[in-house]
Structure 1
Amino acid sequence: MTRHTPTMPAMGRPGVWRRNVVTGLAKSREATLFVVLLALIGATTAAKPEFFNLQNLRDVLLNVSIISLLTAGMTVLMLMRHIDLSVASVVGVSAYAVGSLFLMFPQMPVMVAMLAGIGIGLAAGAINGTLVTYGRVPSLVATLSTLYIVRGADYAWVHGGQINATSLPDAFAQIATGSLFGVPNLVLIALVVLVVLAIYLKQYRGGREHYAIGSNPEAARLAGIRVERRVMIGFLLSGAIAGFAGVLWLARFGTVDASTAKGIELQVVAAAVVGSVAITGGVGTIMGATLGALVLGVINIALVVLRVSPFWQQAIQGALIVVAITLDTVLARSVAKRMMRKRDHG
């Protein structure tokens, strides 16, 4: 009778174990980000115990709410290999425009203010989408141009003026100051929008088409997907979210001027990339992008608590973008090699 030597289980072999770990990280990037987020909170709390308190938690959630909304809109475009750098200027002009409407019509309903902000964002998104889909202008160039055009028009319109919190009705201010079961209204509003977008991308055909376009635009066309239409919808969605975020920004900070939200496009792109949304398209989730925004938000608050110069914030954001892109590339190549080996052996 021939005796067979039992083989070592797959997980017991170091090479297989390492490949499984790499594949696991690539497939559960949200879990990895969550671990990083907990590590950041733990390390900062260990250095400064006063960091972990309800007020800091509230500040992080309020600050991240608006950024996460913009990051979600950016995610929809990045899935299709596009980008929208004009979101910051749209937020600024929307915030000032809605504030001006309140000055003219103090009794204006809050819902009308929100619709006005969304309308401004849709107009900006339509311009960007038209330039990209019909003008064939690269999205980076098109949205960089509209970023400066809208910001310049905003400066010309505002002409050194500003909207003050005292000019806004109390009902509108409740968006930021009010809460439900201890959770700020602003956070709840952002959460609803994020959940709706996540369900759309995962459960509906239109959402899945964004992934298909980003994975292979030509194959998507051959499959019957109307790429130009889907890209236009992506820009309209990003613009509408930016306009809505402008309304929330006004409610959150009260005082706005021509420089409102200047430079936050870097934070939005950084949050998306850190949240494992691939700049090459076809990969990413709303949950991952939101976790990326949370990681950056915690880092910013931690730097303040640790009394680190604010100039380091942008440096850290830039470094995180490089690390995230490098890590994403390494993981993607590792998974691709593993799949090729499986195919060859099969």
Structure 2
Amino acid sequence: MMMQLLRSREALLALAIVAMIVGISTRFGAFAAPENLTNVFNDTAILIMLALAQMVVILTRCIDLSVASNLALTGMIVATLNTIVPGLPVPALIAVALLFGAAFGAVNGILVWKLDIPPIVVTLGTLTIFRGIIFLISDGQWINAHEMSDSFKALPRVVFLGLPVLSWVAIAVVGLFAVLVTRAPLGRAFFAVGGNPDAAVYTGIDVGFTRFMAFVIAGAVSGLCGYLWVARYAVAYVDIAAGFELEVVAACVIGGISIAGGIGSVGGAVLGALFLGVIKNALPVINISPFWQLAISGSAIIIAVAFNARSERNKGRVILKKAEHLV
């Protein structure tokens, strides 16, 4: 039982996170304090949600490099709307963010599905387009805290049962994705399409539509995160979350989600995001510049992909050995 647990990617990642926290707390005891760990989770909440969004796309053998730009664009849209109609209820603004985010995700999905353009090319293009649209909407200007309504800024910070609402939203999203990938037919279709697209067709799964839905879901979550990011930090501008897509992909691959598709778990994505979150929060404590975060994320991607590839290759060898034995 113990050996099986240690072979689990999620268990090893959880142990690595605990080891980091313990190691840092030996020098800075306050780091492991419950209040600080709550702050770490809250700081990582948006990364957790975007990692889950990216996960469903990667499961289908695609990738969405536009999630951070989608977040920035939807954040600018709702912030602008809030300045124009300050009395608009926050739930309505969240609905707008979800709808616009899903629509931007649908653009990616249609281009991949109907025009058969490689996902990395599509999303690199829309990454730039979304940033350009932000500039057109804002004319390059910032929307600052004093221009936003108090209710708009308050929601992510409201504390409920010891956690900010932002953290509770992340927990709810984790629960929804757990149900999606383990119980819903669409979730099973994500794995089938990523595992073997040709075989998925013979089981009656529409590969193109399944990938389209993955992009729509990723877009909707990005839109939600757009509101949460802008409201929490009380600022909207062109370069919000610039480069954040690298951290999102890093969280996925660290969590064991295979870039080749068809392999991954909600727990892995969450732990991958928390791993990066702990590192990010630990950098100032150990006197390392936060600007190293991108370098660390990039290195983590390379190491994790190499580890994943080796694990998958070893599994293939075991299958071949069994086949040879049978012959």
TM-score (norm 1): 0.90
What is the aligned counterpart of 2:92 among 87, 99, 112? 112
Aligned to 1:48: 28
Structure 1 stretch displaced more, 165-174 or 187-196 = 165-174
Aligned to 2:284: 304
Aligned-pair CA distance for 1:35: 0.6
- SS across alignment from 2:262: coil
In the alignment, structure 2 segments of 5+ residues that lack a partner are none
Pairing 1:263–2:243 present: yes
Distance 1:48 1:121 in 2: 40
CA contact (8 A) 2:141 2:237 kept: yes
The CA deviation string for residues 185-241 of structure 1, in whole angstroms up to 9 with x for no partner, is: 111111111111111111122111100100111111122111111111111111111
Larger Rg: 1
Partner AA of 2:222 in structure 1: A
Aligned to 2:273: 293
- SS across alignment from 1:47: coil
Aligned-pair CA distance for 1:311: 2.9
Give the number of aligned pairs. 326
Partner AA of 1:322 in structure 2: I
- SS across alignment from 2:26: helix
Aligned to 2:53: 73
Aligned-pair CA distance for 1:25: 5.1
Pairing 1:144–2:138 present: no
* 4+ long deviations beyond 6 Å: none
Aligned-pair CA distance for 1:255: 1.2
- SS across alignment from 2:142: coil
CA contact (8 A) 2:98 2:220 kept: yes
Aligned to 2:12: 32
Distance 1:25 1:138 in 2: 37
The CA deviation string for residues 247-273 of structure 1, in whole angstroms up to 9 with x for no partner, is: 111121111111111110001000011
The CA deviation string for residues 149-199 of structure 1, in whole angstroms up to 9 with x for no partner, is: 110121122123122223333333332211111011111111111111111
Partner AA of 1:117 in structure 2: A
Pairing 1:63–2:76 present: no
CA contact (8 A) 2:98 2:223 kept: yes
RMSD over aligned Cα, in angstroms?
Answer: 1.8
Partner AA of 2:111 in structure 1: L
CA contact (8 A) 1:56 1:301 kept: no
Aligned to 2:165: 185
TM-score (norm 2): 0.95
